[in-house]
Each structure stands twice: as structure tokens, then as C-alpha cells.
A and B are shown apart, each in its own frame.
Chain A
Amino acid sequence: MSSNSIKIFAGNSHIELARLVAKRIGNELSRVTVLKYSNKETSVNIGESVRDEDVFVIQSGCGEINDNIMELLIMINACKTASARRVTAVIPCFPYARQDKKDKSRAPISAKLIANMITVAGADHVITIDLHASQIQGFFNVPVDNLYCEPAMLSYIKIHIPDWKNSIIVSPDAGGAKRATSIADRLNLDFALIHKERKKANEVSRMVLVGDVNGKIAILVDDMADTCGTLKMAAETLIDNGAIKVYAIVAHGILSGGAIDVINDSYLEKLVVTNTVPHDDKKHICSKLDTIDISSTLAEAIRRNHNGESVSLLFHDDDTPE
């Protein structure tokens, strides 16, 4: 007797988010044990039947990335060979998303490799949030739902930033201009851009501001905050050019290496990240860190996918009148 219910399995990368998502849907997390053998190979033990069920595996590309990727692949494969009706990979922060083009000789396009691996493992569908380049959807032959944090970010700005109507949206680099202008348009605010010159990976050298921020609150918008060198230099540039305060809102707060020290040291008033990447342990040492919870977006997407309903509503802001 097929039940075709939602089964949510969480890998070890972000169990907290998976719990929140499951709660929103009204389920419990399904039973699975993911451990490591003595020789460091991953061991996956599926604890309940998934035959003819709609399986969702939630694993984010953060922490020990390679281990988490292998966990995800083995879990997808295990559910597939256990006759699941459909297996969806829910990957809030897509791993290796920045290696998405051959920008120099013999550079690997690791994002394409990861896409192939996920498909080969047996995923029928992929749900992710704010891909570094939305073209990565084209690397897959299976449907990809690239959800946006934008509605959640807009809501945060309206609620938590006092005097947001006197602010200006700034993109810390040329690549993110489209993302920032979209938010600026929705909020009916002005827009500015910072152009940076990069010499080595993860190292920024010089920044030039294009636009006027004098006397305004500046809100930096970006998709990833990793070492935070960019954000720190951008905040400096903005303060030097007359901004009153600088906020930063980022979709994926990877915050690796010495990022927290860099943030604490910078002119940033607050760094707001979503919980696609776990960072609760960093909040103790950084008071500037604030979280946007996107478990509701993910839960809605999962529910609508399962019920066969449109997901379009998640891509539009619900236009609340002022």
C-alpha cells in the first residue's frame, strides 16, 4: 500500500535547519544514522522504509564540504536503491558554486562535476537557494528550483532597519549589481556600486565607489560572505564617502577562517545572514551577526513540490502596502 508521504532526511551539515523545515511542514525528521567508519569512510544507515515515498535529503555545502558531499550522494543513492518514488536533493548552500567557469587554463568546472555527481547518484530534483550564478541550473538535466532570499531580505530591511527609507542599496562588486538593483527597485531606493580589483583569490586590493552615499544608511547586498575581506573594504569605502551607517545582508554566511575577526574589526553595524549555513557558534564571539530564517521558504517549496502546486509565489514579494 503506497503512502507517498514526505520523508525528510538530514545530513550532518545543518541538522538544525532540517529540524526547522520539518517542523514547518508538520513532520518529524526521518530516521537515519550517518557516521564515519574507523577508516573515515562515510556510513549511512536508513532507519525507516522509503519505498514509494517522496524523499527529501537536506544537506548544505558547508563545514567539511567533501565529507558532506559524500554523505549527500550516498544518502541519495541509498534512498534510490531502496525504491523511493522520488528523491529530491535540498542543498541550501550549493558547494563549489564559485568554480563555475574555466577562467584560466586547466581550471576545473567543479560546479558542473558536482551537478553530474548529484544526478548520477540518483537525484530527480534539486532545490537550492540563491545560486552564485543562476546559470548553474543549466548544469543539471533534472529540474532545479533556485529559490531566492530576496523576499526574506526585503522583509528584514523593512522591519529591522530603522529609517530604511533613507537608505541606499550598495553592491560590493560588479557581479552582484543585478541582485542589488532588484532589491533597490522593490524598495524604491537609490542604488550604488563598488568596483573592486582582485589580485589573488580571497584577496581584494582597491575599491572605487560609483554613486552617492553621503548622509545615507548604506545596505550592502551580496550572495556570499566567506573571508569577508570584500565587505570590510566596502564598509570602509562607504564610510569614507559619507555614509552614516553600513549594514550588510548576505544570503550565505560561510564565514570561514578569520572572517569573524575581520567583521568585528570593520565599520559594519550589522552583518545579516540567512541560516543556509550554520553559524550559531559564531554569534557568541560576534555581536554584529544576525540571522534571517529561511526554513519557511524551504518548507513551502518542499510542500508545494510534494502536492504538485506552483512555487511561483516564492519568487515574488507579497507586496504589502506601507
Chain B
Amino acid sequence: MHNIVLFGGSSHPDLADKIASRLGLPLGRVTLSKFSNKETNVEIRESVREQDVYIIQSGCGHVNDNFMELLIMISACKIASAAKVTAVIPCFPYARQPDAPFKKDGTPLSRLPRNAFKGYSSDTPYDCSASVTPSSEIRDPMEDAGSNYAVIRSVGGYKQWIARSGTLIANLLMCAGADHIMTMDLHDPQFQGFFDIPVDNLFGQPLMIKCIKQTIPNWEDAVIVSPDAGGAKRATAIAERLRMEFALIHKERRSQNKPHKTDLILVGDVKDKICILVDDIADTSFTITKAAKILHENGAQKIYAIITHAILSGDAIQRIKESNIDQIFVSDSVPQDEHLAQCSKVCVFNVAPLFAEAIRRTHNGESVSALFEVMD
């Protein structure tokens, strides 16, 4: 292959290596570091003039740092006269509205007493108590008397909302100079429309189907389960392909004021069956562990889970270990080495071949359609 350069960002060097070796190319030399004041420093060590550049960076780990690194690399290649710059982003950052920031026991952070922010579960505790302005303390009469909740409540009919950054991220990538985006299993397929440049949203489905057929015994008699209503379409697509049965878990919200107290209802029959939970993202893993519990209570024999983007932040691994899930299959769009070491239930399937094929075909100007079909 001529006139092509691959660069790996610092979010997932392992995947970049695998993709490069699959393509039979060396990874481009780049030095990524930080200055003393934590600004990102990118030094590209080989010529990219008139080359087809692919930058592999996943939206995981320190998301903002990795995202800035990606933007600076794209910009650097563009002003160094690269012919085309493609951003390969296996796990797309800011692709969805995550759950409200949670404390360990599941209480949303926004309802915590201000001095409890230090107990936020994450490896780097983030002190955000100062961002809640003192003048906004309005006591919530629904909570117990005597508690010190700094809840920002609706005032004057104004309903609070959390900013959704999807369009912003798309615009930032385009303004940095990206000509093409390659990603996998976007949470909202409509995200492609936020861009003015071509976006290849590769499917993890063929890999998932291969994984099911190869590793789950008696898969023909199993039931595909979607852990929430939003993922129903995804799960039914797999169920139809494999001619399997389908079930759904539905979150019924009881009261408006306590949205974190919900009832989970199983729609469908799983008694004495093998269940396969299918979802695209597992972050805090509340969704799949709670779903597994419901399945277990309803008589499921064995419970598997297949997740494309297993971010598994905070205490997620601990939760999975203690849950009713027997085995969880995840892709390596997000680095999984730590998760593999911590939990024996985790099994990884590789996405490097998928991306390598997509890069090869894009570079050669061939059709990528074949990647969307199931390989038997």
C-alpha cells in the first residue's frame, strides 16, 4: 500500500498496533506527551505530505485529554499538507447522554450534600463542590428534614437540562480538519447527520453474531434480551438474523420526583432458558447488572452479555463480578487489559480486523458494503 500513514493516539496504542500489523504497515512515528502545564504536545516525526493519513484514537480513558490530542494531531497533519485525514474513533466520545453522575450506591450526584462530593467513585476524585454556587441553595421539602442538600431546583418554571454535546463534537472534528470519520456502533445512528463529511458507522453485529455462534453452546435455543427499550431495535436485528427468540426489559418509572427508584419489568419469557443480553455501551454497568438480576429472578438458566463498547468505569467491574451474569463478551474498542485481569467473566473479541479492512478498502477506493454483511 502506498501513500498511507497510520498514527496511533495515546488512548489505545494496542489497537493501533493490531490494526497496523493487520494491514502489514508500520505505525507512523509520533511523539505524544504533555508540557509541564499539562498542555498536549504532539510531534509528528515523519512526512505526511500528500499522504492518506489515518489517526486511531478511541474516546475512552481521560476523554477530554484524548479528544484534544486527536484534534491537535488532525490539525497538525492538515497543515503539514496531508492529502486526506481520517479520524478512526472506535468508541465515539460524547455520543450519548450518560446517566446522571452517580455515587457508589446509585444516588445521583446532583442530589448529594455538597461536602459529599469527595466520595465520588472514580479513580481520580473530582472536587466539584465549588461549582455549585452558594446562592442556589433551595431546600427540597421532599427530602428528610435536617439534611443539607444543595439541589439546584427549577425556579420560575425553568426546567433544568444537561447540555448535549453531539453537534459540538462533530463541529470540532470538522473544524480541526478531519475529512472522514470511521467509527463503530454509534449510540445514535443519526449522529452521522451532524457531520458534513462522510462517516463510516461500522457494525459490530457481524462480530457479535460470530461470537455467539462460536462460544455459546446451544445458542439456537437461547433468548436475545434487550436490557432497555432503547436497544430493542438492535437486539431484534440479531434475533432475526439468528432466528432466535427475543425478550425485553422495561424500566417503569414510578414517581417523577424520585426517578432513580424504578421498577424493572420483563416482557417475554425466559424461564429455564439461556439468555443473551445485547447492548452497545456498558459504562457504569447498572443497566446490564440490574437486567441480569431480573432475568435470574424470572428463572433464566444462564445469562450472557455481549457489549460493543465496554467502558466499565468506576466500580463497574465489581458490580459485574457480584451480578448474575455468567460471562460478558466485550470488544476491544476500549482497552480491556485491566478488566480482563480483574474479572474472569470478561471475554474479548477483536475489532482490529474490522477497522483494518475498512481502512484498506477506503484507501484503495473499494466498497465497504461487504463489511456490513454477516460473514458465516
Contacts and interface: CB of A to CB of B under 8 A. Distances in A.
Interface of A: 10, 12, 15, 28-49, 62-67, 69-70, 73-75, 77-78, 81, 95-96, 98-99, 102, 105-110, 112-113, 116-117, 119-121, 201-202, 226-227, 254, 256-257
B172 A73 contact: yes
Nearest to A41: B63
Contacts of B162: 43-45
B128 A45 contact: no
A129 to B, nearest CB: 17
Highest count of chain B CB atoms <10 Å: which of A41, A45, A107: A41
Nearest first, the 10 closest Cβ-Cβ pairs linking A and B are A78-B163, A108-B76, A106-B44, A66-B68, A256-B37, A44-B163, A77-B168, A106-B80, A70-B64, A38-B313
Contact of A65 (B37, B44, B79, B165): B37
B122 A201 contact: no
A36 B77 CA distance: 30
Contacts of B38: 63-66, 256
Nearest to A116: B175
B64 A67 contact: yes
B171 interface: yes
B79 A226 contact: no
Interface string B116-127: 000001100010
Contacts of A120: 168, 171-172, 174-175
Contacts of B60: 39
Interface in B48-94: 48, 60-65, 67-69, 71-73, 75-77, 79-80, 93-94
Nearest to B97: A43
A47 to B, nearest CB: 5
Given A74-B165, A96-B39, A106-B76, 11 more contacts: A10-B133, A32-B133, A37-B283, A38-B284, A45-B160, A70-B68, A77-B168, A105-B47, A105-B80, A106-B45, A107-B76
Contact of B67 (A70, A81, A201): A70
B152 A45 contact: yes
B52 to A, nearest CB: 16
A112 B79 CA distance: 11
Contacts of B80: 105-106
B176 A113 contact: yes
A28 B135 contact: yes
Contacts of A254: 37
B160 A108 contact: no
A48 B40 contact: no
A43 B79 contact: no
Interface string B138-172: 00000000000000100110101111010110011
Given A35-B131, A40-B63, A108 B42 contact: yes
A10 B64 CA distance: 19
16 contacts: A12-B128, A12-B130, A35-B109, A35-B110, A37-B99, A40-B63, A43-B163, A45-B152, A63-B38, A73-B172, A74-B165, A78-B163, A106-B44, A107-B76, A117-B71, A121-B168
A45 to B, nearest CB: 5
Interface string B5-43: 000000000000000000000000000000111111011
Given A95-B39, A108-B76, A35 B126 contact: yes
Interface string B347-360: 00000000000000
B179 to A, nearest CB: 16
B176 to A, nearest CB: 6
B11 to A, nearest CB: 11
B136 interface: yes
Contacts of A119: 175
Contact of B131 (A10, A67, A98, A257): A10
Contact of A38 (B98, B110, B167, B168): B98
Given A74-B163, A77-B163, A108 B130 contact: no
Contacts of A37: 98-99, 101, 283, 313
Contacts of B99: 37-38
A251 B311 CA distance: 41
A192 B158 CA distance: 59
Highest count of chain B CB atoms <10 Å: which of A12, A30, A47, A109: A47
A28 B133 contact: yes
Given A36-B122, A67-B65, A121-B171, A110 B43 contact: no
Contacts of B126: 35-36
Contacts of B73: 108
A77 B94 CA distance: 14
Nearest to A75: B163
B314 interface: yes
B64 A42 contact: yes
A31 B134 CA distance: 9
Interface in B160-205: 160-163, 165, 167-168, 171-172, 174-176
B36 A257 contact: yes
B219 interface: no
B65 to A, nearest CB: 5
Contacts of B101: 35-38, 43
